[in-house]
Structure 1
Amino acid sequence: MSAHDTHASHGSHGGAGSYLVGFVLAVVLTVIPFGAVMKGMVHGSQAVALIMGAAVIQILVHLRYFLHIDGKTDRWTLQALIFTIFVLGIVLGGSLWVMHNMNTNMMPTAMQMPMGD
């Protein structure tokens, strides 16, 4: 078995067309929330929801078109992805928790940042 045979068994890596579709989708999913917020079409929690929704869809686009993770992906790649999501959740959740506690416990009451609309 040659190195080429081993590489070929890891699945399709897509062609230029696949990367172009992914790139166009990523640009569109960036421009839509940016434009909506800059033109004042959405405010406050609606803006946050639009940005977060577009971000989630963009993550799925990146996984499919750039990382080629789909229904045919091998078990080890999926396990690595799930572990990465788990660690990312701990890091983001922990960071938000620490920032909230610092804002609540260390800022004078008059200077505390509002935590919502």
Structure 2
Amino acid sequence: MSAHTENLHPGHDHHDHHDDGEAAYHATTRGYVTGFILSVILTAIPFWVVMGKVFSDSTTTALVVLGFAAVQIVVHMIYFLHMNTRVEGGWTMLSLIFTVVIVVITLAGSLWVMYHLNTNMMPMMHDMQSM
């Protein structure tokens, strides 16, 4: 490099440049505290819903707890795993979406198979009486 170029950027190592197109995420104590407080709230509310028997229907209770769990997963991904659409050119978010699709397909397929096995393989009451 020429002396002229060195004088324009003194003290910079030219081999250590970062891609200016990528937004770097810098974690802060405030972000971690916010994530922690949200996590505690999103844990305490479902605990209260279950222990206080707020809903008489167990299906409603399960759906509320699952809803809070989904929100808590998003809170953890944003505040603790620092995932957003800007990090690594969006590849982190793309891999997350792919993972979620695969998990949903796997869970839905497993539930479908178990339901149909239970329906078609279990003996009926009239079958049990004839044995």
Structure 1's 91 and 98: CA in aligned 2 closer, same or farther, altered over 3 A?
same
Separation in 2, partners of 1:92, 1:10: 35
Residue 35 (structure 2) pairs with residue 37 (structure 1)? no
CA contact (8 A) 2:85 2:93 kept: no
Please report how far the alpha carbon of residue 93 of structure 1 lies from its aligned counterpart in structure 2 after TM superposition: 1.0
Of 60, 76, 83, the residue aligned with 1:46 is 60
Of 66, 72, 75, the residue aligned with 1:61 is 75
Identity %, equivalent residues: 40
Q: How does 1:94-109 map to 2 (within 5 A)?
A: 94-109=109-124
CA contact (8 A) 2:77 2:83 kept: yes
Q: Can you give the 5+ residue segments of structure 1 that lack an aligned partner in the other structure?
A: 111-117
Please report how far the alpha carbon of residue 13 of structure 1 lies from its aligned counterpart in structure 2 after TM superposition: 3.7
Counterpart for residue 3 of structure 2: none
Of 27, 30, 33, the residue aligned with 1:14 is 27
Q: Can you give the 5+ residue segments of structure 2 that lack an aligned partner in the other structure?
A: 1-14, 126-131
The structure, 1 or 2, with the larger RCO (C-alpha pairs under 8 Å, 6+ apart) is 1
Q: Which moved more, 1:26-35 or 1:8-17?
A: 8-17
The structure having more radius of gyration, on CA atoms, is 2
Structure 1's consecutive aligned runs of 4 or more residues displaced over 6 angstroms after TM superposition are none
Separation in 2, partners of 1:17, 1:89: 33
Of 44, 56, 75, the residue aligned with 2:90 is 75
Separation in 2, partners of 1:6, 1:108: 65
Please report how far the alpha carbon of residue 77 of structure 1 lies from its aligned counterpart in structure 2 after TM superposition: 1.4
Write the deviation string for residues 20-65 of structure 1: whole angstroms up to 9, x where unpaired: 2212212211221121111111132220221121112112211211
RMSD: 2.3
